[in-house]
């Protein structure tokens, strides 16, 4: 027996309520994505998590995660080779967008890495290298666990204490022009900007996918926050 028009309308409304979010993890060939995928699927088991370099899939996704590792020049070359620069810029303006590690750095205008590399210019600022000083000796790269100090309230910090530990692996750090966008800082020799928030963009220098329960909460907050 078929369903009548009222039942069909109710069924369609029910389906829309249950619509799964599609979370697109951008693959531009410069990151081991297995730990990111595993962590996102753990905190969002009812959502559709995809790894993709397809512009249509990225455009149609509800939320974007943009990880990365390696050198800035190679990352930018790979982004352009895969013709992802336009869709990354578009997505960063239109939907919840999370940059991780190199996925944070290449959002800036320019990186000092590789004798200078032009980046995506999504967020005004530059990327600079850690420097040792005569009175402060640090190892480069900055590798291991370190604290992130909360600089302002933001939904991304839900259930995360200030000075919680995250895992880092990097030799360069961002220096954003708009300091009000900095919502987390970390001390490594000097203080550097480790988390920024600008409109629908969140970016973190650390690796939440490798940062135990705190990192999982960070990812969960990104996925569940309404922007």
Active-site residues, by number, are 101, 207, 209
The number of beta carbons lying within 10 Å of the beta carbon of residue 150 is: 17
- CA 194 – CA 147 distance, rounded (Å): 10
β-pairing, 97-100 vs 117-118, is unpaired
- CA 109 – CA 114 distance, rounded (Å): 15
- How far apart, in Å, do the first and last CA atoms of the chain sit? 43
- CA 227 – CA 197 distance, rounded (Å): 12
Helix spans in the chain (H): 5-17, 34-43, 55-60, 72-81, 85-94, 102-105, 212-224
SS3 110: strand
Nearest Cα residue to 44 out of 96, 111, 118: 96
Distances in Å between the Cα of 13 and the Cα atoms of 7, 8, 48, 49, 226 are: 10, 9, 20, 23, 20
- CA 192 – CA 182 distance, rounded (Å): 10
């Amino acid at each position: 027996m078929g369903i009548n028009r009222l039942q069909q309308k109710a069924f369609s409304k029910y389906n829309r309520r249950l619509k799964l979010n599609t979370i697109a993890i951008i693959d531009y060939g410069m990151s081991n994505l297995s730990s990111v995928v595993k962590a996102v699927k753990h905190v969002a088991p009812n959502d559709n998590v995809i790894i993709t370099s397809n512009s249509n899939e990225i455009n149609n996704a509800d939320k974007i995660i943009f990880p990365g590792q390696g050198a800035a020049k190679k990352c930018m070359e790979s982004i352009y080779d895969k013709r992802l620069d336009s869709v990354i810029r578009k997505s960063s303006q239109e939907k919840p967008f999370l940059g991780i590690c190199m996925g944070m750095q290449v959002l800036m205008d320019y990186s000092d890495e590789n004798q200078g590399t032009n980046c995506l210019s999504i967020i005004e600022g530059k990327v600079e290298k850690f420097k040792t000083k005569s009175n402060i000796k640090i190892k480069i790269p900055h590798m291991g666990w370190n604290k992130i100090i909360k600089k302002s309230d933001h939904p991304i910090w839900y259930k995360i204490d200030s000075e919680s530990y995250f895992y880092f692996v990097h030799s360069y750090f961002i220096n954003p022009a708009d300091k009000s966008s900095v919502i987390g800082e970390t001390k490594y020799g000097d203080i550097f900007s480790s988390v920024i928030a600008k409109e629908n963009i969140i970016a973190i220098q650390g690796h939440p996918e490798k940062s135990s329960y705190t990192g999982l909460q960070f990812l969960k907050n990104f996925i569940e926050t309404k922007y």
